[in-house]
Each structure stands twice: as structure tokens, then as C-alpha cells.
Amino acid sequence: MRTFVFFGGKGGVGKTTVSSAYAHRCAEAGLETLVVSTDPAHSTADVFDQAFGDDPRPVEGYDSLSAMEIDPDEEVTRHLMDIKRAMGDQVSPGIVNEIDRQIELAHQTPGAHEAALFDRFIDVMRDADEYDRVVFDTSPTGGTLRLLSLPEYLGGWIDRLLEKRAQSVDLFEKAAIGNREPRRSMVGDPIVARLQERKANFEFAGETLREDAAFFLVVNPDELSIRETRRAVGSLEEYGLTVSGLVANRLTPEPEPHEEGRGARFLRNRCATERERLETVRETFDQPLAGVIETRVAEVKGDFLADVAADLDIDVTAPDPRTGGPRS
């Protein structure tokens, strides 16, 4: 089964670490895996000690692992250039300047970045046939949630635009009853065609996210992170997306029982608090804990990755969103 796996969570909880570790596990299990970083502050490069670009590139030292870092800026520029090229073909030079301004404006609006990121998202999901698993390392909760809510939201907008356009074209056709040529015609209207193409894109994204994707939230054993995760689960469910599980990261390692001293006492206390919080997570969330990862001494990269991957209890073969976690 083809699956997209998303890792999300509050900023700094270790989404990149967990998603890289998971990708490592998938790749080791022989799955053709792709890691996609959508966080504008990319850090996959740091984990694998290798630079990645906007196109999938094989990760050194792995047989079946590739990675890419989506750069929305590049996509915005590409989109802008595409439109300008289409303008050159369609529009007489006299009007170009006037319209140029509008196009530039549209590419500077706050939504442009998100839209561009979303377009790349869809591209990646469309061209994912050669991969058995695509792991998304997403940006901190807020951004991702907005991104994932886009299909529904924008779909509604495009619907309204289509309706309006259909209405005006219909009226133009009616005004031309008799043997006059109508000013606009529904058949072959490039506007309607464009909008419908966009709509189909959004529908594809919505469907894929609902049916072919699994979401995991990374949580740290502290109050803030747990609260944010609870909100994130709620919002995701509002959009009709089910969270398959939680991954607890950054747990304090317990000292040996015979150790006494300030450090050991601190660690023991800290562990007790964390255990309590973990218990709360286990009891109050519907989602299962799909992994408990302790803090490592150094940055997680290289050999550490295999180590962390071993702590992850996410099924590598088929993290089916329907069986991966209980639906609420």
C-alpha cells in the first residue's frame, strides 16, 4: 500500500530527528523511501550531513533513501515566470505593464508562499509512484495545519469563482440569442478550464491526505508540548484527518540505581515527572504512543540514527491510517 507519512509537532520537539529515523528504518527494511522537508528552516541536511535541493537526491550511504527540501521561494518564482511567459503569448504589449503589476502583487501576498508550498506538496504526492514510502518532515504545527486545511478551504473558493464565471458566461450567451456571436462561451473557456484544473488538484490533495496518509505528532514530555499536541490533534480531526500516533521524544535517561549525588537525584526527579506526563499522554489521548525516544548525548546523526530508529515503534511495512491507530 502506498503511504505518505507526516510528522508534525511544536517547534523544536525533534520532528526532523524522528522523521529521519523513521525514513532510515523504512530504507533499511528495503522500502524505496523519500524524505521531504517542508520546513522553511530545513535541517534534514544536518542530519544526513549532505546538502539537498528542491529535487529528490539519493542519500549517501543508503541504497533506497532519497531526500529533498522544498523551497517555496523557488516555486513562487517559477510560477511567476510561467504566467509571464503565458502573457507574452496571449497579451498585446500595450496592456502587459498594467497586468504585470497585478501579477507581481499576487506573488507577494502572504498566501503565495503557502500556495507555492502546497503546489509542491501536490507535485510530490503525484510523482510518488517510484517510492514505497514518502516521509514528510513538516514545519511546526501552526504552518502545517494551515497547509493541510488548504484543500477544503481553497476548494470552496474555487467553487464560488467557477459559479460566478459560469453565471456571467451564461448571461453573455443569453444576450446573444439569435445569430449573433456570444462574447464569451462556456465551450473552451480557458478560465473555466484553469479553475477546474485547480479544483481537481485540490480534490486530489484532499483525498490523498484523508485516505493515503498517516499523521504522527512528535511530543516532548512537558506541559506546553502536550497541550499543543492536544490542540493539533483536535484541529487535524476537524479537517477530517486522523492522527495515527504520537512519538515522545527527548526523554531524560534514568541514572543507575546505585548512583547518588546531585546529578543523579536531579535526573531521577526529572524522570519521575516525565513518567507522570507520559502516563497522562497514554491515558488522555486516543492515539497510541508509537515510540519513546531518550535524549542522546550528541546530535542525532549518522550511527545515532539507527539507534533512535530502533526506539520507534511505527510499523514499517504498512502504517495503514485505518489500522495504525484507533479512530475516534
Partner 1 sequence: MDLSDRIAAFRATLEEWLRGLYHGLVTHPAYEKIENEAEDAEDAFLLACFPDAFGIPSPVSYYTAELLPYLSTEFEQWERRMWDRQSLLERKGQQYHF
Pairing mode of beta strands 3-9, 65-69:
unpaired
The residues that touch partner 1, with contacts defined as CB under 8 A, are 79, 82-83, 86-87, 89-92, 95-96, 98-99, 102-103, 105-107, 109-112, 115-116, 153-154, 157-158, 160-161, 164-165, 167-169, 171-172, 174-177, 183, 190-191, 194-195, 198
Query: Which amino acid, 226?
Result: I
| CA–CA gap between residue 162 and residue 132 (Å, rounded) | 36
**What's the min distance (Å) between Cβ of 88 and partner 1?**
8
**What's the min distance (Å) between Cβ of 167 and partner 1?**
5
Q: Which is nearer to partner 1, 167 or 273 (CB)?
A: 167
Residues in the chain, total: 328
Q: Which is nearer to partner 1, 94 or 261 (CB)?
A: 94
**What's the min distance (Å) between Cβ of 71 and partner 1?**
16
Residue for grid cell 529535487? 55
Furthest C-alpha separation in the chain:
98
| CA–CA gap between residue 328 and residue 322 (Å, rounded) | 11
Q: Which is nearer to partner 1, 167 or 317 (CB)?
A: 167
**What's the min distance (Å) between Cβ of 73 and partner 1?**
13
Q: Which is nearer to partner 1, 13 or 158 (CB)?
A: 158
Residue for grid cell 533513501? 65
Query: Which amino acid, 168?
Result: S
DSSP category for residue 245: E
Contact indicator for 8, 215 with CB cutoff of 8 Å: yes
Q: Which is nearer to partner 1, 16 or 149 (CB)?
A: 149
Contact indicator for 18, 6 with CB cutoff of 8 Å: no
Contact indicator for 194, 251 with CB cutoff of 8 Å: no
DSSP category for residue 321: T
**What's the min distance (Å) between Cβ of 162 and partner 1?**
10
Q: Which is nearer to partner 1, 174 or 262 (CB)?
A: 174
**What's the min distance (Å) between Cβ of 112 and partner 1?**
5
| CA–CA gap between residue 275 and residue 281 (Å, rounded) | 10
